[in-house]
Structure formats: structure tokens, C-alpha cells
Amino acid sequence: MKLTLKIWRQAGPEAKGKMVTYPLDGIDGDMSFLEMMDILNENLINQGEVPVEFDHDCREGICGSCNMMINGQPHGPQKLTTTCQLHMRKFNDGDTITIEPWRAAAFPVIKDLIVDRSSFDRIQQAGAYVSVNTSGNTQDANSIPIKKADADEAFHSATCIGCGACVAACKNASAMLFTSAKVSQYALLPQGEIEATDRVMNMVRQMDIEGFGNCTNTGACMIECPKGIKLENIARMNREYLKAETLG
């Protein structure tokens, strides 16, 4: 498979970036997208050029590191898939593939395709936890009865890997889907009730401080989310927030 890659190159956070075109040959359909990037980088190294920096870790679709905007879609054209699980069979011989980093003020570019997503960490630190004493007398969570539907939904919300595809896909660079998934996974469980008010208030405040855009309900985040996190979470967060603001 012969490809033409158009890749965002940026030497550092303050450097001016630009799209650079690379021809690439010998790509097999069974390769993953990241393996294709590895081959490109080997070629670049052999030619004495600086390889393209990109984030990756598990290459199993669970760490949320391999963030690339591929042909205008986060993680590429295959739904419910991270970039590392995307295979080159999704592309055709002769294709031109445009690869860019996530674009958001809250995700500044560190180098090439790597962005700083620590804003997500700070949102989580603001309230996405349950304070539990570890004295040895802590009640076993499994001994608390929870409706199966609620438990399932909480677990589904918890599958968010924080990759940032929701922000990348949103025309407003909004982080509502991510934040709401983290709010929901606790809001649905009795263990999360005690800190519910502070949690939603603090997390939304932090989300706003980080400079993410406003949600306008386009639904792009849900469509592009590799884990299928649903818009219901955003509606739930809106309810939680109103409840916290009005009832305390």
C-alpha cells in the first residue's frame, strides 16, 4: 500500500508548527496505524531526520494515549476504536492521510502529535473520587445493594479512558462528555452520594478554569468516543449541577 501522509510537525510547545508531507510505501493492511507510524519513523531515522513524536502506551485500546486526529476524525474512521486498534485495511492504496494533534486551548501541543492532557487530570483531582477511610473496618462495597441497571451504567461511565477524543471531536472543544462520565460513575452509586454536591461543583469549576468550550449538544463527542460514552452522562451532570446549586 502506498500512502501520502500529511503530518503536523511542531518542534516544541512554543515553536511554530506546520503540516509536512511524507510519501510512504510498503504498508500492509494488517498493520495497525501505530505500526505504520513506526515504519515512517524508522524511515525518517534512517534518512537522518527527526522522527514524528506521538503518544502511545498499551496499544490495546485501554490507556487512551494514542491520540491522533486522522482525516478530521479523532482516532480515525473506525467507530469505537482507538488509534492503536485502527488497522491500515481501513485505508486504500494511494490514499492521502492527514494526521494532526488534538486541537484545544486546554490541550497545548508539546511536540508534533503529543498534547498535554493534564487538564483532564486536574478535573479528576477536583472531585472524581470517593473518600474512604482505610482503617480496616471499611464496609465491603459488594455488601451494599445497588440496582443492576445503575451498576451497569456506572461501570459503563467508568470505562472512559480520558483520551480526549470528545474534546477533539467537539466543534467547541468542550470537555463535557469526559467530565460528565466521571461525575456519573459516582452519582449513580450510593458510595458517591455523600460528596455529590462538592464533586459536581468542583469538577465543573475546574473544567471551566481549564478553558474548555461550552457544550452545544452536537453529539459529536459520543459518536467519536472510542468507548461509546453516552450523552446521558451530560444530561445527568446538568441535573446534578442544578441540584447542587439549588439544594446544596
Partner 1 sequence: MSALVKSSLARKWVMALSGLFLVIFLTQHFVINITSVIAPDTFNEWSHFMGYNPLVQFVAQPILIGGLIIHFIMGIVLDFQNRKARPIKYAKFSGNSNSSWVSRNMIITGLVVLAFLGLHMYDFWVHEMTVKYINVQPEDATRYLPELKEKFVNPVRVGIYVVSFILLAMHLWHGFNSSFQSMGAKAVNQGDRLRKATYAWSVLIPAGFIFIALYHYFTHS
User: Which residues of this chain interact with partner 1, rule CB under 8 A?
Assistant: 6, 8, 19, 69, 71-73, 77, 98, 100, 103-106, 169, 171-174, 176, 201, 204-205, 207-208, 211-220, 223-224, 230-232, 234-242, 245
In whole angstroms, the minimum distance from the beta carbon of 149 to partner 1 comes to 11
Query: Given the complex with partner 1, which of 141 and 151 has the nearer CB atom?
Result: 151
Name which of 147 and 171 has its Cβ closer to partner 1.
171
73 contacts 169 by C-beta, under 8 angstroms: yes
Contact 107, 55 (CB under 8 A): no
Return the number of the residue (70 or 88) whose C-beta is nearest partner 1. Answer: 70
- Kindly tell me which of 126 and 220 has the beta carbon lying closer to partner 1: 220
Sheet holding 3-9, edge to edge: 18-24, 3-9, 96-100, 69-70, 73-74
Strands 18-24 and 3-9, how do they pair?
antiparallel
3 state DSSP class of 185:
helix
Residue with cell 511524507: 22
Q: Are 94 and 154 in contact (CB under 8 A)?
A: no
Least separation in angstroms between residue 29's CB and partner 1 is: 22
Side chain identity at residue 212, one-letter code: F
Question: Please, what is the minimum distance in Å from the beta carbon of residue 237 to partner 1?
Answer: 7
Please, what is the minimum distance in Å from the beta carbon of residue 134 to partner 1? Answer: 32
Closest contact distance (angstroms) between CB of 195 and partner 1 is 17
Return the amino acid letter for 235: A
| Nearer CB in complex with partner 1: 57/92 | 92
The residues with which 4 forms a beta bridge, in sequence order, are 23, 96
